[in-house]
């Protein structure tokens, strides 16, 4: 690894080779990974004998090529031992690009800690979190936001060691604090409230994700996990969580304080990455001020983590277009759903095809306790963040409507016609004014729908190669 870092440092700028084939300089061997982007091969450089990962990316669309070029531009800036390194790049000039990357063979961090031969302790968790923070600190020092921090993007360097690497900069963005940046992509369990609310993101957006990762690592529980992505996002918005589970009984107050200072709803109030590295929980590692219980095995957390990894591996694991989920939320979410332009310019193309739901049986493996769910319901009602997945959270004014929503999928057409709400048996109740649904709001909804259809039509025309000149001449 040290040799690779020195080579990359000496050859700082990685230019795309358009006149050479990757096979001219590298010997490709077995496939080590697949994804929506393409295929990853193990390869060996002919001149040095160094082993790398060759990531082939399909670039059939101009947007795909721009995404890869942006990712390369960011990776050139991020030369740090905690970050995945870019070594070389090729472009065949047709429909495929190849990135030569550092080969990481240790697997995902969470899969490493659940191995039988790994003893999970609070001290080990703190060591992992310190390394993650070091990588994020370097990114932030270069004014780069990762924006997709999650377990699968934290890899172990080897199968037996404890050194980690942060990977996947496909959604990373250069950040200028003077220019607001809004995004509508991410992984619902780990995304920050400002992303869901389509508010400007910042350095604190990555720090929120670090807080969620730390919570999961220490307990094996997901702090905001719901039965669907829609419910998960509403939990994120209210930022309601606790440490009441038995998995936290043996966790120190310093560790809980570290999480508390990251999982704060207002991003400006969260710890900055420099502050996180100076936190007593992290500092205690190097100073040797760890209580004995921090070296005790976290058996309950490890069992929970096994369940988490199983559920995570069986559910959709890629980032999604959050706008496709946001529209299903009430309250503040609906008021923001009309603004989609930033996603068109900032989100990774194709993410809208991702699944926006999680299998309910699998998601229950790591969800909150009943008491936490009850508090979330109350908090959502206070803040006006309601979810259709649990219609019983609506007010008593809509009992009959709620009943129809809850059972409509089970009713046969004839039974639906006999429903009390349809037949008008609750006529007196139905004549009450509906405070949350008036004509002005309905009009805004219709306008938004028309605007969205028009926008999608323009996008489709642009992808077909249309220009204003061609449209005027009718030559498309």
CA atoms within 13 Å, Cβ hemisphere of 51 = 9
Are residue 235 and residue 138 in the same domain, yes or no? Answer: yes
Residues 78, 223, single domain; the answer is no
pLDDT tens digits along 38-48: 899 999 999 99
| CA-wise closest residue to 374 among 473, 263, 244 | 244
| Residue 345 covered by a domain | yes
Quote the DSSP letter at residue 83.
B
Same domain, 57 and 183: no
Kindly report the pTM of this predicted structure: 0.69
Among 68-77, 220-229, 443-452, 454-463, the range with the most confident prediction by mean pLDDT is: 68-77
User: In the beta sheet, which residues pair with residue 173?
Assistant: 145
- Within 10 Å of residue 131's Cβ, how many Cβ atoms? 20
What is the CATH number for 208? 1.10.510.10
Point out the residues that are catalytic. 148
Higher pLDDT, 422 or 227: 227
Q: What is the pLDDT of residue 302?
A: 83
CATH code for the domain in which residue 41 is found = 3.30.200.20
With respect to residue 117, please indicate whether it lies within any of the assigned structural domains: yes
Instruction: Count other Cβ atoms within 10 Å, centred on residue 392.
Output: 10
What percent of the chain lies above the pLDDT cut of 70?
A: 63
Res. 385: pLDDT tops 90: no
- 321, 343 in Cβ contact below 8 A? yes
Helix, strand, or coil (residue 239) = coil
Domain-located, residue 312:
yes
Tell me the binding residues for ATP. 55
Residues 58 and 195 grouped into a single domain: no
Query: Do residue 20 and residue 150 come from a single domain?
Result: no
Confidence (pLDDT) at 321: 61
- What distance in Å separates the CA atoms of residue 363 and residue 371, rounded to the nearest whole number? 17
203 with 183, same domain: the answer is: yes
State residue 84's pLDDT score: 97
- Co-location of 168 and 259 in the same domain: yes
Query: Contact, 90 vs 16, CB < 8 A?
Result: yes
- What pLDDT digit, counting tens, does each position of 337-366 carry? 333 333 323 333 333 333 333 333 333 344
Q: Does residue 445 surpass a pLDDT of 80?
A: no
Q: What is the largest CA-CA distance in the chain?
A: 84
| 396 assigned to some structural domain | no
Asked whether residue 177 is domain-assigned, the answer is: yes
The average confidence (pLDDT) of the chain is 77
Domain boundary among 87, 102, 117: 102
- Domain-located, residue 420: no
Distance CA 178, CA 322 (A): 25
Question: CA 219 to CA 369: how far, in whole Å?
Answer: 13
Domain that holds residue 309: 109-378
* Same-domain check for residues 466 and 325: no
Rounded to whole angstroms, what are the CA distances from 384 to 238, 245, 327, 356?
Answer: 10, 27, 15, 22
pLDDT of residue 299: 78
Asked if the structure places residue 260 within a domain, the reply is yes
The per-residue pLDDT for 244 is 92
Residue 66, C-beta contacts closer than 8 angstroms, at least 6 positions apart = none
Mean pLDDT of 328-337: 37
**416 inside domain:** no
User: Do 118 and 98 fall into the same domain?
Assistant: no
Contact predicate 167/104, CB 8 Å: yes
Last residue of a domain, one of 48, 80, 102: 102
Query: Which residue has 């409230």 as its token pair?
Result: 193
Q: For position 82, what pLDDT does the model report?
A: 98
Q: In angstroms, rounded to a whole number, what is the distance separating the alpha carbons of residues 409 and 442?
A: 25
**Beta strand spans in 239-394 (E):** 320-321
| 297/218 same-domain check | yes
- Last residue within a domain, chosen from 54, 74, 102: 102
Q: Do 255 and 346 have their domain in common?
A: yes
Q: How far apart are CA 163 and CA 276, in angstroms?
A: 19
**What is the mean pLDDT of the segment spanning 169-176?**
95
Q: Are strands 86-91 and 16-17 parallel, antiparallel or unpaired?
A: parallel
Tell me: do 307 and 451 sit in the same domain. no
For residue 79, give the 3-state DSSP assignment. Answer: coil
Q: Which residues are annotated as a binding site?
A: 55
Task: Name every residue whose Cβ is closer than 8 Å to that of residue 305 and which is 6 or more positions away in sequence.
Answer: 110, 113, 114, 120, 216, 217, 220
Q: Is the pLDDT of residue 70 over 80?
A: yes
Domain count, the chain: 3
């Amino acid at each position: 690894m040290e040799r690779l870092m020195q080579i990359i440092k000496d050859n700082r700028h990685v230019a795309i080779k358009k006149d050479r084939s990757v096979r001219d300089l590298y010997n490709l061997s077995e496939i080590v990974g697949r994804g929506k982007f393409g295929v990853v091969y193990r390869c060996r450089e002919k001149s040095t004998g160094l082993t790398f990962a060759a990531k082939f990316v399909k670039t059939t669309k101009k947007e795909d090529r721009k995404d890869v070029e942006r990712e390369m531009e960011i990776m050139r800036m991020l030369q740090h031992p905690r970050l995945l390194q870019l070594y070389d790049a090729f472009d065949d000039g047709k429909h495929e690009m190849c990135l030569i990357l550092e080969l990481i063979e240790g697997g995902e961090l969470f899969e490493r800690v659940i191995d039988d031969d790994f003893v999970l302790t609070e001290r080990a968790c703190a060591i992992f979190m310190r390394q993650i923070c070091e990588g994020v600190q370097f990114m932030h020092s270069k004014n780069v936001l990762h924006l997709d921090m999650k377990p699968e993007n934290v890899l172990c360097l080897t199968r037996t060691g404890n050194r980690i690497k942060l990977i996947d900069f496909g959604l990373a963005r250069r950040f200028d604090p003077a220019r607001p940046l809004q995004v509508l992509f991410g992984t619902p369990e780990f995304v920050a409230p400002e992303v869901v609310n389509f508010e400007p993101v910042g350095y604190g957006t990555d720090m929120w994700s670090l807080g969620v990762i730390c919570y999961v690592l220490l307990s094996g529980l997901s702090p905001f996990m719901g039965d669907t992505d829609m419910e998960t996002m509403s939990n994120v918005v209210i930022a309601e969580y606790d440490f009441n589970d038995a998995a936290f009984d043996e966790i120190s107050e310093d560790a809980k304080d570290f999480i508390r200072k990251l999982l704060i709803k207002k991003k400006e109030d969260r710890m900055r990455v420099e502050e996180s590295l100076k936190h007593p929980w992290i500092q205690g590692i190097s100073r040797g001020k760890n209580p004995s219980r921090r070296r005790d095995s976290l058996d309950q957390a490890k069992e929970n983590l096994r369940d988490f990894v199983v559920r995570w591996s069986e559910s959709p694991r890629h980032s999604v277009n959050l706008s496709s989920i946001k529209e299903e939320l009430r309250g503040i979410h609906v008021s923001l759903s009309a603004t989609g332009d930033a996603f068109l310019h900032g989100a990774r193309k194709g993410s809208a095809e991702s699944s926006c739901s999680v299998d309910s049986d699998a998601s229950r493996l790591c969800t909150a306790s009943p008491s936490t769910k009850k508090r979330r319901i109350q908090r959502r009602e206070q803040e006006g963040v309601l979810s259709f997945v649990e219609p019983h959270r609506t007010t008593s004014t809509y009992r009959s409507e709620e009943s129809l929503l809850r059972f409509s999928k089970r009713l046969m057409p004839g039974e639906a016609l006999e429903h009390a709400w349809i037949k008008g048996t609750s006529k007196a109740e139905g004549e009450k004014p509906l405070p949350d649904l008036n004509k002005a709001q309905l009009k805004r909804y219709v306008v938004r729908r028309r605007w969205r259809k028009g926008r999608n039509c323009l996008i489709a025309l642009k992808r077909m190669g249309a220009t204003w000149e061609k449209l005027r001449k009718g030559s498309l």
